[in-house]
Amino acid sequence: MSSSEATTVTMTRPFTWRRLCAQCAIGLILFVVANVYTFETSYFFARERAYWAQMSDIATHKNVRVIFAGDSHFGVPLNDYLNINRNGPAYSVASGGDSLRECFAKVRYVLESTPTVDTLILTADPHMFGSGRINSSNRSFADRYFIEAWDRSGVQHNLWSAMLQQVPLFNEDFLQYFRKELNSIATHAPSHARAEGDPLAWSRLTEAERMKAAVATGQGDHAGVGTLQQPYMWYGRILDLARAHHVKVIGVRFPVHPGYAAGISSFQVSQLNSYMLSHGMAQIIDLRTALTDPKYFQDEDHVSVIGAAPVLTILEQKLQRPLR
């Protein structure tokens, strides 16, 4: 044996379980640290925390009788306007990007934890039945409510997989988001806006500009309405859930630009109405044309916070009960 080989043999450290365990412990610590750092610093998980906080915060509202469930059509004008009042009779669990799956998960959570609720105001917007709302950007945010209910019907694979997805670096939706962020940085593409813009920006456009944007968005949002079974399944489950808890369900459509509303025919809307009313909805209040002044809108299909007060006034008159 040469002297170099002897040196190599001499320097080789023998295998020990203690050494292996120490290396595994270091690796585990680094993995935990990486997950904590990711969870605390990523905008994706900041949104997730806000999503969960909105749900848990309802426990601090002792007089809630009415809840709103839907996507950003409810969430944009109502969340900040209603939920800040801890003594108010109404609370919004709506979130931008929610599909009917997320609505079901959150409504079930609220009805099982807040027995004072007697009325659910549920989105009746046609676009919720479109192909664009099959896969929600909030999918993984709502998984925890299916896990807590031990209900595998709403998770992508199974409950164990959904539990694993709660680990940030195993979360498929986060990894997708992270890849897009890296691509935006690499290509110098603008990332998503994180700050609110001019609340009157929509009103500063010409009517021709507003109409053009509204028509384009309406056509896209209403694609596939009435052709997919999944939205009907979730809608039916929400109505069944409310019935089991003796909660009245009222369908509501908030104001939108006429060009946006034109993206779906009156016949299609009447078919959706028939389905909702025949499956237990008490009434449908269609406010799509209730506001026309552009200053009340954030864009073609969202009432702004400025428009929250007048639209709630109209809704209170229709319901003959206070919501603020």
| 165-187 pLDDT per residue, tens | 899 888 888 878 777 777 767 76
Look at residue 88 and tell me if it is in a domain. yes
Domain that includes residue 119, residue range: 43-136+200-319
Look at residue 161 and tell me if it is in a domain. no
- Specify whether the CB–CB gap between 124 and 276 falls below 8 A: yes
Look at residue 64 and tell me if it is in a domain. yes
What does the pLDDT read at residue 178?
Answer: 73
Alpha-carbon distance values, 264 to 30, 74, 250 (Å): 52, 19, 21
* Position 190 pLDDT exceeds 80: no
Look at residue 14 and tell me if it is in a domain. no
Look at residue 118 and tell me if it is in a domain. yes
Look at residue 213 and tell me if it is in a domain. yes
Look at residue 154 and tell me if it is in a domain. no
- Token pair in block for residue 54: 């909105």
* Position 195 pLDDT exceeds 70: no
The CATH number linked to 292 is 3.40.50.1110
What does the pLDDT read at residue 27?
Answer: 82
- Token pair in block for residue 171: 């979360």
- pLDDT band at 276, cuts 50/70/90? very high
* Position 92 pLDDT exceeds 60: yes
| Number of domains making up the chain | 1
> CA-to-CA distance for 130 and 233, rounded, in angstroms?
13
Look at residue 209 and tell me if it is in a domain. yes
> CA-to-CA distance for 71 and 102, rounded, in angstroms?
9
| 6-34 pLDDT per residue, tens | 455 455 667 788 777 877 888 888 888 88
Give the residue-averaged pLDDT of 153-164: 88
